[in-house]
Each structure stands twice: as C-alpha cells, then as structure tokens.
Amino acid sequence: MSIDWDRVADDLDAFGCAVLPSLLDAEQCAAYAAGYGDDAQFRSRVVMERHGFGRGEYRYYAYPLPPGLADLRTALYPPLARIANRWQAALGLEERYPDAHAGYLARCHAAGQLRPTPLLLQYGPGDYNCLHQDLYGDFVFPLQVAVLLSRPGVDFSGGEFVLTEQRPRMQSRVEAVPLGQGDAVVFPVHTRPVNGTRGIYRVNMRHGVSRVRSGQRHTLGIIFHDAS
Ligand SMILES: O=C(O)CCC(=O)C(=O)O
Ligand SMILES: [Fe+2]
C-alpha cells in the first residue's frame, strides 16, 4: 500500500473525510463481492428494512476474518491511530489509542466487545442506507473505512456515499464522496474536532448511502472496534 497519510490527515481535518484511491484492485473487489453468499464467512445477516435502517442488506464477517481483510484492518490501523490520537488531544480527551490494532482489540475484548465488525453490504435497485453511526459498545475507535467494490456507471447507478456534519447551533453540512471501484473512504465514526475562529469544537458525524437507481452495489466496511 502506498498511501499519502499526510494528505489523508489534511483532508480529514479540512473536510471530515479522505479518499484512499485504488485501495483494492478489480480482482480483489470482485472476490469480496462474490463472497456475499458464502455463509461460512459470516456471523450474521441484517436486512435493513426490518430495523428501519434503510433498504438492502449486510453481513458481518466471522472470526477468523478472510486473511486479506485481517491484514488490511491491521495495516490501516496504525496511521489512523496517529490521527485519532491527535484528535483526542485536540478535543482535550484523555483516552489514547495503542500503536497496534492488536492492542486496541485487547481493550475491546477485555470489555466484552468480542464480535468482529467488518461487514459486506449489498444494495439493489431502490436500496439505500439511512444516516447512522456504527457504535457497538463503549469502546469506539473514531475512524472507519468503507471500500466501494462495484463499478459506478457500470454495475450500478445512484448509490452515492454521503456524510453529514452536525455543528453546534449551526446548520448541518453534507459531503457526497465520489468513489470508483476499489477506492476507499476514511471517515469519523461519531465525532471529529473542527478548528473554528474561537477554538476547537466537536461536530457530530453520520454516514449513509443515497438510493441506488439501478444495478447492484457492494461495499466492504472496516470498523476497528469490535462489538458487544
Ligand atoms: O455502503 C456504503 O458505502 C456505506 C457502508 C457503511 O455504512 C459502513 O461501512 O459502515
Ligand atoms: Fe456504516
């Protein structure tokens, strides 16, 4: 992986999201998407409409994660932890994240957050994902990654990844994030610091996906805390 982490940090600070271009190649994307029907890889399936989460479905991977996914989660964590720790300091919060993902998972597991959170999402025509936050217990690693596995304009149309930023006593701001197949977006799970004229304040973030107009859209979600 050759990722320009300084640019990622700058974009996250400025806009609340950053794109990692071509994190996965077309072959890897197709392999993850094709695995959706392989029951052995997953611990559970969620039909979004049943919970009011939107329309479409997703499956949480089981441990052990597929080797490539486990490696990706481990490799993406350390540079994200550096950004997360800088944000913690900016917000005057005490918690610091360990340098390695194993260290952070040990904390989650000791607190009873034992279940893996990486997930594979599948959307068809008319499907969408309501604005939400992926919180699964007290331990929340503040950044997460989603990889678009399908080809926009070829496999599907519509289905834009969107983020909203709710600012205290101000109107909300929205970002739509254009992604190509294999591109990933890094974004805050629940909050982020913003540098304002009167100092640093905290904004509340949510993410979702607009309605898929046609075709099939798959995404790989990488969340760094485990679930209770
Ligand atoms: O399908 C998407 O782009 C959004 C996925 C999502 O909500 C997540 O990865 O947490
Ligand atoms: Fe999500």
Number of domains in the chain: 1
pLDDT of residue 191: 97
Do residues 81 and 145 lie in contact, with contact meaning Cβ atoms separated by under 8 Å?
A: no
Nearest-CA residue for atom 8 of ligand 1: 221
Domain assignment present for residue 157? The answer is: yes
Closest ligand (CA of 145): 1
pLDDT tens-digit readout, 51-82: 999 999 999 999 999 999 999 999 999 999 99
User: Sign of the C-alpha dihedral, residues 131, 136, 142, 148?
Assistant: negative
| Ligand 1-lining residues (CB < 6 angstroms) | 121, 129, 134, 146, 161, 207, 209, 219, 221
- Report angle CA 169, 195, 10 to the nearest 5 degrees: 130
Residue 78 belongs to some domain of the structure? yes
| ipTM for the assembly | 0.99
Is 76 part of any domain? yes
Contacts of 37 (CB under 8 A, 6+ apart): none
Return the pLDDT at 168: 87
Angle (CA) 65 71 72, round 5°: 100
d(CA 200, CA 33): 40
Percentage of the residues of the chain whose pLDDT score is greater than 90: 96
Q: Read off the pLDDT of residues 13-56 as tens digits, 9 standing for 90 and up.
A: 999 999 999 999 999 999 999 999 999 999 999 999 999 999 99
CA-based Rg of the chain, rounded to a whole angstrom?
17
In this prediction, residue 2 carries a pLDDT of: 87
User: Is 67 domain-assigned?
Assistant: yes
Q: Which residue has the higher pLDDT, 128 or 169?
A: 128
**Which ligand 1 atom is nearest residue 219's CA?**
1
Instruction: Identify which of 72, 135, 139 has the alpha carbon closest to the alpha carbon of residue 106.
Output: 139
**CB of 193 within 8 A of CB of 142?**
no
Residue 149 lies inside a defined structural domain of this protein = yes
- Distance from C-alpha of 111 to C-alpha of 35, rounded to nearest angstrom: 31
Determine which helix (DSSP H) or strand (DSSP E) holds 75, and give its type and residue range.
helix 67-90
Per-residue pLDDT tens over the stretch 154-169: 999 999 999 999 998 8
Domain holding 203, by residue range, is 5-222
Q: According to the model, what pLDDT value does residue 1 have? A: 66
103 found inside a domain: yes
Task: State the closest ligand 1 atom to the C-alpha of 207, by its place in the atom list counted from 1.
Answer: 7
The per-residue pLDDT for 52 is 96
Tell me which residue has its CA closest to atom 6 in ligand 1: 221
CATH number at residue 14: 2.60.120.620
The answer to whether residue 228 is domain-embedded is: no
In a domain, 227, yes or no: no
3-class state of residue 109 by DSSP: helix
